[in-house]
């Protein structure tokens, strides 16, 4: 199957710093791909260039059939290439369900990817509500639907962000350190619920994460970065056993 995203020869400089030095990256559909690497290796910059927050200084980005290299963030967002913080922050006083439905309202043409056929004929708000019910179940937020979002834990908030991205029509979601600051038990839950998304829906995730001991068992493939380049790619075990990765990152 065609990759959903292809990056070719991506370069990005900040003054004299070469943050990305010719990055090639393919993402397979319905997979969770993880980017790892030491501080300053270029992971966040790669997410920023992919989402369109920064334009690259060289190379090309293709999303599905579209060359998005010169497109801005909003245009990529409309195509379904979504970085989670592009979605307006959850309204803490609204309920979880209300937050889901209002995310779709921002992008009414894209709501219905996961709605049932019958609901396509109903008013879009009804369809959005049906989709939101389905997604909150998948994300294990169903029991919290009518709670104010302010009651959610950090991990549940990350899941709500992913849910809201899907309500906006996301096909590829980019997440920078979703488990940062979350206790290990909940971080495992976040990853297992994200995993359920890719197993159930036509959605693909690219995740930057330092907490390998938590994240690795939930991801399909790993790319290790160092000094603005991808130095190893493969299954989690292949990358972890790669001597170059051990040397530059894992320090064992």
Ligand X SMILES: Nc1ncnc2c1ncn2[C@@H]1O[C@H](COP(=O)(O)OP(=O)(O)OP(=O)(O)O)[C@@H](O)[C@H]1O
Q: Which of 10/127 has CB closer to Mg ion? A: 10
Q: Which of 193/223 has CB closer to ligand X? A: 223
From candidates 23, 36, 37, 98, binder to ligand X by CB under 6 A:
37
From candidates 3, 40, 142, 234, binder to ligand X by CB under 6 A:
40
Q: Is 162 in the site for ligand X (CB under 6 A)?
A: no
Q: Is 91 in the site for ligand X (CB under 6 A)?
A: no
For the segment 38-57, give every residue that binds Mg ion (CB under 5 A).
Answer: 44
Q: Which two tokens stand for residue 182?
A: 């979350």
Closest CA to 37 of 55, 61, 57, 20: 20
When CB distances are held under 5 to 8 angstroms depending on the partner's kind, the choice from Mg ion, ligand X, none that residue 45 binds is ligand X
Q: Which of 14/91 has CB closer to ligand X? A: 14
Distance CA 44, CA 85 (A): 13
C-alpha of 12 from chain center: 21
Q: Is 42 in the site for ligand X (CB under 6 A)?
A: yes
- Are the CB atoms for 59 and 7 separated by under 8 Å? yes
Type and span of the H or E element at 13: strand 5-14
Closest CA to 214 of 172, 150, 158: 158
Q: Is 17 in the site for ligand X (CB under 6 A)?
A: yes
Q: Is 59 in the site for ligand X (CB under 6 A)?
A: no
Distance CA 131, CA 186 (A): 25
Q: Which residues bind ligand X (CB under 6 A)?
A: 14, 17, 19, 37, 39-45
């Amino acid at each position: 199957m065609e990759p959903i995203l292809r990056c070719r020869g991506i370069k990005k400089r900040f003054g004299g710093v070469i943050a990305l030095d010719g990055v090639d990256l393919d993402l397979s559909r319905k997979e969770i791909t993880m980017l790892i690497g030491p501080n300053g290796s270029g992971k966040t910059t790669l997410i920023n260039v992919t989402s369109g927050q920064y334009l690259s200084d060289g190379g090309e980005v293709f999303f599905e059939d579209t060359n998005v290299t010169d497109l801005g963030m909003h245009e990529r967002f409309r195509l379904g290439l979504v970085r989670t913080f592009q979605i307006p922050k959850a309204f803490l006083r609204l309920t979880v369900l209300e937050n889901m439905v209002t995310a779709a309202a921002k992008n009414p043409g894209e709501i219905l990817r996961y709605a049932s056929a019958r609901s396509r004929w109903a008013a879009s708000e009804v369809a959005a509500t049906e989709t939101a019910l389905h997604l909150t179940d998948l994300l294990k937020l169903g029991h919290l639907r009518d709670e104010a979002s302010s009651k959610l834990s950090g991990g549940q908030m990350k899941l709500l962000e992913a849910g809201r991205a899907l309500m906006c029509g996301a096909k590829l979601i980019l997440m920078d350190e979703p488990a940062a600051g979350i206790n290990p038990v909940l971080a495992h839950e976040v990853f297992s619920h994200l995993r359920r998304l890719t197993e159930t829906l036509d959605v693909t995730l690219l995740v930057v994460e330092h907490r390998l001991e938590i994240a690795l068992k939930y991801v399909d493939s790993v790319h290790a970065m160092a000094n603005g380049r991808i130095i190893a790619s493969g299954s989690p075990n292949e990358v972890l056993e790669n001597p170059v990765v051990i040397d530059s990152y894992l320090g064992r």
